Amino acid sequence: MSFDLASRLAERHAAHLYRQRPLLESPQQPEVRVDGERLLNFCSNDYLGLANHPDVIAAMRAGAEQWGVGGGASHLVIGHSTPHHQLEEALAHFTGRPRALLFSTGYMANLAAVTALVGQGDTVLEDRLNHASLLDAGLLSGARFSRYLHNDAGSLAKRLDKASGNTLVVTDGVFSMDGDLAGLPALCSAARAKGAWMMVDDAHGFGPLGATGGGIVQHFGLGIDEVPVLVGTLGKAFGTAGAFVAGSDELIETLIQFARPYIYTTSQPPAVACATLKSLQLLREESWRREHLNRLIARFRQGAAEIGLALMDSPTPIQPVLVGDSARAMRLSALLREGGILVGAIRPPTVPAGSARLRITLTAAHSEAQLERLLQTLAECWSRLAEEPEHA
């Protein structure tokens, strides 16, 4: 018996689904150097432009000088440093919840929360378009796992009627490949009517959404009663790394005691927590970042509509351009790169078959002139693509 890995890779190549890692040779910023080329970057999740902010860099440097580089051990052994604790307290205050718990990655935070809260005899219900980490968490939990129709409170209610044991409803706040918002008011209402808990992974909502960047829960004016389990990542709008879960004291203590991805991993470098404390301060105080970003989003959608591009219903920095065919999505991405614009082509299995797209992301660090250059180049490349045969 042997694993035929070569055939699997060849099949992925043939289906135009092969993935390759671009080599970033500069910091995260609008103009980057990738694989030796200078390009205008429209595929980063650094929504507020904080990943290369001098104050955040200075905070990390000072943190490393004071606290060293490595976390050293798990939080429960000797890896829970003062900066970690301070960041947890700041995130709890930011989200308006009693406590927050820090994780090294968003994937780990989602696995931890779901698998610690439900198991055999319980039910977990998830949106069909949830992030892979949420879907994996549901499958690994051992609970009865079912997916409801995307953003459909009626579909969720039907599944809630069949649920047994403790029931956890899980949704993204902002869907990472479509950019649309979860209809939280209706979803929360359906969950509460059946005594189910709502868990929201707001990885892409914190920062861009809400009056002070508090994300989709703040955007809709909801609280801990409607959303008992709130997850956020720090590697996107916060510009650093890691993730957190925010909720009640009982929730956080439950995760500390029972969440294996938390218990059995080394803590993040304390200097990263120092940097995140600074980025959190900037996120809250510099509202101009959200205001500028919203202006860019509105202008992009206006310009894309004039070009005739197929956009999705997204009010967020994630602005997908629907292409459909994977090969043509790759071709459009390549044409843009020839024009000095870096935008990734997203293909199955990340998105459903037949819905390949360009995932354009805007950041507060982009200028209006850079956005106009994107629109002009998009118009030229879209016209060129239309003139090419379907299977060029």
Q: How far apart are CA 175 and CA 191, in angstroms?
A: 19
Q: What is the pLDDT of residue 255?
A: 98
pTM of the model: 0.94
Q: Is there a catalytic annotation at residue 204?
A: yes
Q: From the candidates 104, 133, 141, 176, which is the catalytic residue?
A: 176
Q: Catalytic residue, from 131, 236, 278, 292: name it.
A: 236
- How large is the average pLDDT for residues 272-284? 98
Confidence label for 16 from pLDDT (cuts 50, 70 and 90) = confident
pLDDT tens-place string over residues 138-155: 999 999 999 999 999 999
Q: Is the pLDDT of residue 379 over 50?
A: yes
pLDDT higher than threshold 90 for residue 77:
yes
Residue 59: both structure tokens together: 């905070």
Q: Find the helix or strand (DSSP H, E) in which 128 lies.
A: none
Q: Is 131 labeled as catalytic in the residue annotation? A: no
Question: Tell me: the pLDDT tens digits for 24-40?
Answer: 999 999 999 999 999 99
194 assigned to active site: no
* Average pLDDT of the segment spanning 241-250: 98
Q: Above 90 in pLDDT, residue 70?
A: yes
- Give pLDDT, residue 324: 87
The domains found in the chain, sorted by start residue, are 18-47+287-387 (3.90.1150.10), 54-285 (3.40.640.10)
- Of 131, 204, 219, 292, the catalytic one is 204
Q: What is the pLDDT of residue 1?
A: 56
Q: Give one DSSP letter per residue of 217-273, joined into a string.
A: HHHHT--TTT-SEEEEESSSTT-S--EEEEE-HHHHHHHHHH-HHHHTSBPPPHHHH
